[in-house]
Amino acid sequence: MIYLLETDLNDDKQVFIALQTVYGISKTKATFLCKQLGFSQNLKIKNLSLSQRSKLIRNVARNKFVITTELKKQKKSIIKQFVNIKLIKGLRRIAGLPVRGQRTHTNAKSARSNAKKY
């Protein structure tokens, strides 16, 4: 099992799929990393050699993707900016309503009950 950016990558999964379990790595970033390292997308993590594992870890760090805690902090700061500027998105977040224009007359009960107070 590889520990990569605060997440454990399952040995039984393919490299392409296991990379997507890291918060902030999408399918496109995972395919980019696999192509850059020359890995087949079907290659499983347990079949990686030690040198390939170290290459994978170094390559993720070198590409400077905004991932895990950095991405979460960035998202929170953007939301706080919306609230401070009193943008419609920020005001709707404070009110606990859907932000992206969804219907609220009959729906949005879950959005109101799951509302976080900022």
State the CATH number of the domain containing residue 76: 4.10.910.10
Output phi, psi for 86, to 5 deg.
65, 40
DSSP code of residue 14: B
Q: Is residue 48 part of a domain?
A: yes
Tokens of 98: 């859907």
Q: Cα–Cα distance between 94 and 80 in angstroms, integer?
A: 10
Do 46 and 87 belong together in one domain?
Answer: no
Distance CA 73, CA 69 (A): 6
Token duo for residue 93? 């977040």
Give me the number of domains the chain comprises.
2
| CATH code of residue 26 | 1.10.8.50
Q: Same domain for 49 and 87?
A: no
Q: Are residues 58 and 79 in the same domain?
A: no
The DSSP symbol for 99 reads S
Q: pLDDT, tens digit, for every residue of 48-92?
A: 888 888 888 888 888 777 778 888 999 999 989 999 999 888 888
Indicate whether this model's pTM tops 0.75.
Answer: no
Residues 46 and 83 in one domain: no
